[in-house]
Amino acid sequence: MTSSLQKKIETVAKRAHDAAPLVAKLTTKAKNLILIETADALVARHAEIVRANQKDLKEAQKKKLAPALIDRLTLNAQRIGEISKGLREVAALPDPLGEIVKSWTRPNGLHVQRVRIPLGVIGIIYESRPNVTIDAAGLCLKSGNAVVLRGGSEAIHSNLVLGKILRDVLKKNGVDPNVVQIIDTPDRKAMGFLVRQSRYIDVMIPRGGESLMKWMADHSKIPVIKHDKGVCHVFVDESANPGMAEKIIINAKVQRPGVCNALETLLVHERIARTFLPSMAEKLQEAGVEIRGDDPVRKIVPGAKKAAEKDWGMEYLDLILAVKIVPDLESAIRHIQKYGSLHTETIVTEDKSHAAEFLNRLDSSVVLWNASTRFNDGGQLGLGAEIGISTTKLHAFGPMGLEELTTMKFVVTGTGQIRE
Amino acid sequence: MTSSLQKKIETVAKRAHDAAPLVAKLTTKAKNLILIETADALVARHAEIVRANQKDLKEAQKKKLAPALIDRLTLNAQRIGEISKGLREVAALPDPLGEIVKSWTRPNGLHVQRVRIPLGVIGIIYESRPNVTIDAAGLCLKSGNAVVLRGGSEAIHSNLVLGKILRDVLKKNGVDPNVVQIIDTPDRKAMGFLVRQSRYIDVMIPRGGESLMKWMADHSKIPVIKHDKGVCHVFVDESANPGMAEKIIINAKVQRPGVCNALETLLVHERIARTFLPSMAEKLQEAGVEIRGDDPVRKIVPGAKKAAEKDWGMEYLDLILAVKIVPDLESAIRHIQKYGSLHTETIVTEDKSHAAEFLNRLDSSVVLWNASTRFNDGGQLGLGAEIGISTTKLHAFGPMGLEELTTMKFVVTGTGQIRE
């Protein structure tokens, strides 16, 4: 038996699918115009957005959501301005479509090109923050994809107004508004139906916590690009510049501890531990960081708690840091291979060959030499805006910008060649 | 409760996972040596292979498998020679790993590189043909991946001997033989356990018919790169060179009708239909092809059967061809968008702007101008050997060579940069 909700979700997905060839072939100029007019409309209609957001906030307060969640849910003139600015930045980025990534000629005269095309229809499931509605839709449109958005139920009123504004601009520009679909029901069953639309949706991108990731892995019949946890490491090698290491570690741990590219485990070479670690730990503790160390760490760091086995590989997302002293580079690499999540790893060293070994041996999505883990970010690495940070090796590994929302087709030109 | 089979499959996957970092960092020279020594060993030990294959063939005859299946299952000195030659060709291909695909410097001085790395562990499920065991393992090894192979139960003895030969060469070269795992049970339940090892396997590549594809889509918890059906089209435009069109159509339909890049639907512009189609159809019919046409086709092609709605979009894999007359290029494009499978489409035309429109509007994995659909093939397009033809847009779309068995990490070099 097909429920009416199931039919509804199928219709939403099919509409996006049918509209996808249109958005795929929009000119760059037309797409940029839509992005810029949407940026304008968001500012012009900010009162309408704030009104809808107030409804969500009222509900959230009734449900006694955590203050951090309520903060992420809140839209005000300033935040609407930031979303609007984000769209203008995407408009300014080069169009990834049509790029001839490679081309060559075969001995039989066939000319082969690999040309960038959109993925088709992208489904995005996200939580709380309503800005994702516009950020994600903007990136999908610019990369020529249709998009089906399913935000958190707590942001439903905000998301619907934001979607309406975007669809109004699409209509005004003569573009089928079905290229952007907002799932308008807070019913969680909708998600279950959505991830079964493999006929109409080419890829699902979940953005959220561990339970969403697990749910997606268990239920999705559509290929998923996960945005999973970051157990990021910094290794301070024996030859590290201690001042540089300190700056990097403080930045990686303290600047924004709740994000996936924040530092979670610090590894220190035993030859530098005694001189480096006590003052480093003091600075971290001054910044409010709790240190959880192995026994050698606890001998030289006053106030360090004892790290349990489960502390290695833990994503705290908080002002807590696991610290371990290792005998050499090889042990650091093996520790990261064993406990890491393939997200982000930094080596601080003045030894070029040690850096090369670390950067070569560790196949995490971003590996850094003498720089903060916080640089695993599309904007910071120069991809322009990002849709998130993929922890799936397939298709896109690390920050995903516009290019990562595309695929390539082969375009072959001949003069009547047939296969022998 | 964990069954012993489940434990066994988990162990197989974990062993491949643990061995993956080793094969990822083998030198090109070491990998090529393994490939060449395996090629030698296959020829030297061909009697042993043929003996095992005889066991499979005897079983197959007992089970009265179709002659075509038995033919695909058969290994003899000549076929073993071809498998061996294939390995030498893979050895001669450039190593995809370590390639710096792009690099740039950020305003803050961070130097960013995108570097090719292996996917990790690749799981391959395939049917009948035992040559896939060596072909696939060779490509996975050369691209630095560990591999778990699960061939058809009817080829189990052949596959186990082939796997043993390869693992013997690995051991002899001091490489952990766990980088190549052959699932040694014909029990179909093993497949169900295999596709749940998402902790250890990075991607599943199924090669086989529609029922395997459907089963994978329904059961795999690991990302899947499908090798699905090809409903390939040729459109003969009004300005087509008729002789060239004939040659291409005969080649695409008749040369090897049972493969995914064979022609299935022919679309002909109405302005050229009357002069082109009758003699074209005659030549096809002489070659044993059954024509199924719409009414206008049947008026000008004697002996054409009536095409039903389900003939559009049908993958016959046989000497049958659906033929339709269309009023213009636009109708041809829309027909392909509606009924195609995004596999391979050819336009035959002398009109450059029509060709450009066709190649641009249709986002199938390979689109061709004046060339046979049969060129959608890794070897033919110059990728070297291929693991198959992906019909998944994600990660790899079209023929998959060595490069498509890799992903990219970001390597970032700094001088102490932190995020502001």
Query: 246-265 in A: which are within 8 Å (CB) of B?
Result: 247-248, 250-252, 255
Interchain CB contact of A338 with B (< 8 Å): no
Q: How confident is the model at residue B68 (pLDDT cuts 50, 70, 90)?
A: confident
Chain A interface, best mutation among B117, B232, B339, B393, by max A CB count within 10 A: B393
- Same domain flag for B313 and B342: yes
Helix B131-142 × helix B156-172 angle, to 10°: 30
Residue B395 pLDDT more than 60? yes
pLDDT at A127: 84
| Whether residue A223 sits in one domain with residue A236 | no
- Report which DSSP code applies to A395: S
Q: Give yes or no for a contact between A265 and A322, defined as CB atoms under 8 angstroms apart.
A: yes
Separation in Å, CA of A120 to nearest CA in chain B: 8
Whether residue B363 and residue A412 make contact (CB cut-off 8 A), yes or no, is no
For B122-131, how does the pLDDT look when each residue is reduced to its tens digit (9 = 90+)? 999 998 789 9
Domains held by chain A: number: 2
CA dihedral in degrees (B114, B118, B122, B126; nearest 10)? Answer: 90
CB pair distance less than 8 Å for B363 and A203: no
B-interface mutation test, from A410, A413, A415, A420, most B Cβ less than 10 A away: A410
What residue ranges in B81-133 does DSSP mark as E strands? 100-105, 111-118, 121-126
Residue A113's nearest CA partner among B244, B161, B382, B141 is: B382
Q: Tell me the pLDDT band of A275, cut-offs 50, 70 and 90.
A: very high
Residue B365 in contact with partner chain A when CB distance is under 8 A: yes
**φ and ψ at residue B305, rounded to 5 degrees:** -80, 165
Clarify whether residues A355 and A328 are in a common domain.
yes
Residue A188 pLDDT level (bands cut at 50, 70, 90): confident
Mean pLDDT of A203-214: 88
Q: What is the pLDDT of residues B175-223, one digit of tens each?
A: 999 999 999 888 889 999 999 999 999 999 998 888 898 899 889 989 8
B358 lies in a domain? yes
CB of A413 less than 8 A from some CB of B: yes
- B222 with B237, same domain: the answer is no
Looking at the fold, whether A40 and A66 belong to one and the same domain comes out as: yes
Segments forming the whole domain that contains residue B173: 4-228+396-412
CA distances (Å), A105 to each of A62, A240, A386, B276, in order?
66, 49, 35, 31
Residue A206: half-sphere exposure toward Cβ, Cα within 13 Å: 24
Do residue A255 and residue A218 come from a single domain? Answer: no
Note whether A70 and A179 are same-domain residues.
yes
Question: Is A420 domain-assigned?
Answer: no
Shared domain check, A407 and A324: no
Q: pLDDT for B294-336, tens place per residue?
A: 999 999 999 999 999 999 999 999 999 999 999 999 999 999 9
Asked if A279 has any chain B CB less than 8 Å from its own CB, the reply is no
Query: Cα separation of B87 and B32, whole Å?
Result: 9
Q: Within 13 Å, how many C-alpha atoms sit on residue B371's CB side?
A: 28
**Predicted pLDDT of residue B2:** 66
CATH number at residue A251: 3.40.309.10
In a domain, residue B341? The reply is yes
Q: Are the Cβ atoms of B202 and A374 closer than 8 angstroms?
A: no
Does residue A191 lie within any of the structural domains?
yes
Q: What's the CATH code of the domain at A132?
A: 3.40.605.10
Instruction: Please tell me the pTM assigned to this model.
Output: 0.92
Separation CA A167–CA A169 (nearest Å): 5
Using a CB-CB distance cutoff of 8 angstroms, which residues of chain A are in contact with residue B360?
25
Q: Is residue B391 part of a domain?
A: no
Partner-chain contact A375 B110, CB within 8 Å: yes
Secondary structure of A165-226 as H, E, C letters: HHHHHHHHCCCCHHHEEECCCCCCHHHHHHCCCCCCCCEEEEECCHHHHHHHHHHCCCCECC
Domain-located, residue A387: no
Q: Looking at the domain assignment, is residue A385 inside a domain?
A: no
Beta strands per DSSP E along B208-319 = 232-236, 263-269, 290-293, 305-306
The verdict on A415 touching B (C-beta cutoff 8 Å) is yes
Q: Are residues B218 and B91 in the same domain?
A: yes
Residue B28, chain A, CB below 8 Å: the answer is no
Q: What is the pLDDT of residues A363-388, one digit of tens each?
A: 999 999 999 999 999 999 999 888 99
Average pLDDT over every residue of A91-106? 96
User: Is residue B218 located within the same domain as residue B267?
Assistant: no
Q: Residue B406 has what DSSP assignment?
A: E
Please say if the pLDDT value at position B1 is more than 60: no
Strand B406-417 with B111-118, pairing: antiparallel
pLDDT at A128 exceeding the cut of 90: no
A219 touches chain B (CB under 8 A): no
Is residue A215 domain-shared with residue A284, that is, in the same domain?
Answer: no
pLDDT of amino acid A47: 97
Residues 143-182 of B with CB under 8 A from A: none
Whether residues A143 and A258 fall in one domain: no
Kindly list the residues from chain B whose CB atom is less than 8 angstroms away from the CB atom of residue A415: 370-371
B chain contacts of residue A367, beta-carbon cutoff 8 Å: 409-412
Does B388 fall in a domain? Answer: no
Please name every residue paired with B146 in a beta bridge, in sequence order, or none if there are none: B121
What mean pLDDT is reported for chain A? 95
Instruction: State how far the Cα of A273 lies from the Cα of A256, in Å rounded to an integer.
Output: 25
The ipTM assigned to this model is 0.93
Q: What is the pLDDT of residues B281-296, one digit of tens each?
A: 999 999 999 999 999 9
Please tell me if residue A106 touches chain B, with a CB cutoff of 8 Å. yes
Q: What is the structure's pLDDT at A1? A: 52
- Tens digits of per-residue pLDDT, A251-271? 999 999 989 999 999 999 999
- Using a CB cutoff of 8 Å and minimum separation of 24, what contacts does A57-61 make? A59/A154, A60/A154
